[in-house]
Structure 1
Amino acid sequence: MNHSTGYIMAARREAASTEIKRQREFYQAAREICSDLFSVRPSVYWVDFLASVVTAYVLVSVYLAMPLSSPIAWFCFAVGGVLIYRSSMFIHEIVHLPSNEMKFFRRFWNFFAGVPLMVPSFTYESHLHHHSSRHYGTENDGEYLPLASGTILGVVAFLAQVFFQPILVVFRYAIWTPISFCHAGLRKWTLQHATSLVINFQYENHKRPEKQTVEDTFWELLTAFRVWVMFGLVLVGTMPVERLPKIYALAVFILIVNHVRTLAAHRYTSDGSTISHLDQFLDSTNITGNWLTELMCPLGLRYHALHHLFPKIPYYNLGVAHRRLVERLPADSLYHDTVYPNARAAIGELMESVRSSK
């Protein structure tokens, strides 16, 4: 090894050591700034969820009962859809709560939102893989696709999922659920491959069969029963068949909002390799935005990078944490690298990465 090569390697080691030190200092400073924001206040969850879900169901009932020629129907469709989305996203908070905390809220949410919306909470436990440093951005992350290094067609295919997912979910519960109980191997396959809310359809949750509890199966069967009742009411003439496409349209609308939000949540630059906790933070975004951002990113989801940094901060404290970090951290802090003025800027950067990857 010549002297110049030795100097280069030494310089690289020193630069890497400096960057690691910088990241460690950033994390410690951010943790100290947010140290009082990790406690859970159950009353906030109850008031927010009840207000959201009751209002949502009232508005959606009006939408389903009125002809589409009525402006009131479209108002109820839009506002009710946004509130249904907000109510459903409590599933994200639930999976981050310790299993022994707020058990009654978890069950109440499942009964009044998870089952009616066909997203019982156990189907989202795979989300914890999305936060794991071993799984984030890899093939074992069901909520990640390497979109930044892909093509425009890949982004279009991702967005096109919204038109098929409602049909797949109905099929999963109405038909596949009872079939899956006919054979142990089929049941195992179902729990591994068709029981997680994901955007990466190649994801396999190998631990799901052993984690499936009696209560999980109860919610699964109750969801299947909910679908059978919906179609049964149509068959006996109690519910007009015209309501089925209206329900489908509402589901697609909610999924469109969610998928656009998901596009803005990350930079999607992972190449499938394992990355550190802070690298996963830097691959995510914080969106300042406005009230429209809050509608599209309910329950603090606009602060997605912050959530990946500190997953245990409850949603109602994320805004406070974000403002503190922006104000108190130095201008060259890693935190500021994750902040975007709006979702359009974050998606625009992603699309620029897609175009430049060709």
Structure 2
Amino acid sequence: MPQARTHTINPTLSGNGNPDLDYNPAGVRNTDSAVPLNRTEPVLHNYHCDGPAPGKLAFRWTYGSNVAVKNRDPRVQVVQYNEDTFVLRQNVCVHWEAPFTYLLFGNKGALLIDSGATANARHYPLRDTVDKIITRWGQARGRSKVPLTIALTSGEDIAQNQGLVQFSDRPDSTIVPTALDVMKQHYGFRASWPSGTGAIDLGDRIIEVIATPGTHKDGLTFYDPYCRILFTGDLLFPGKINIGNDRDYVFSLQRLKKFASDRSPQWILGGHVEMMFVPGKFYPRFATYKPYERVLQMEPAHIDEALQYAREVQGKKTLLLRPDFALFNGVSPDQRTKVWPDGVPNIDPPRPF
């Protein structure tokens, strides 16, 4: 896998994940943040890579319990994708939608994408979890202060905006406004919406912000060129995609397809997992026990597939099943299909499901 470009080593500027450096022996995680350098300045990382930065995702996430009150899994599951990228998932027994949030670091600060479905910090300690990650990261990098930006893939999506209140009084924090017009102005594409593109500069790691309404009128997608990951929220994820405006949805997928062809993303990470590993099968709403979930990550080819079938359902009130997602256009999220589509194997999932 491509590594970061090499450059002159000095105590304050080191190649991120460079296996050629003498403190990265073979067989261990490539890291330069915990090196016992007697530095007087914070470590700066090089985020310019020849390819996507290496990282690892969980094969299986915590999946809840039949009796939610007996669940003993962490309220927030944390997976470290790489040194500067973290994936957090809300416990499905705290909220059945079990949304994902993403924490990214750069040389000047951090970005939290989305904030989960529960406001109560005692039930869902998102801020406490994020603060602990930031503290450890800052200590390793020689930083006493790490400014945090909190941005949402949709301000109207209650499964991703409820945790915002936990950060309302947090110092050194910026919460991107959730009101549509103010949010557009914040990113600088008020006049060009929904064709606009903005940016969040984390310090040599610039996250691109793409207007992608369709499931929500204020929908956004974030792109990290360092890891080459698209964070798509509710626009595209392995689950029940509830289309709010099918014309906007098709337009946004067209934009995303063009964007992906220019950027070559490695993964698409959405806001939820609702599909089973059995093709075309998904968990019903309010389920708190999901032992056979599909993996979170999707591939760029899924953009083409979603666009193809979004065009097919446009103007129709229907549910359309695909192996890795389901499109709900103008129908209840509890809708069931009686006609199994071609190309999707009809396999009974294991029990209990």
Which of the two has greater helix per residue?
1
Same fold (TM over 0.5): no
- TM-score normalised over the length of structure 1: 0.31
- TM-score normalised over the length of structure 2: 0.31
Which of the two has greater strand per residue?
2
Q: Which has the higher contact order (CA 8 A, sep 6+)?
A: 1
Whose radius of gyration is greater, 1 or 2?
1
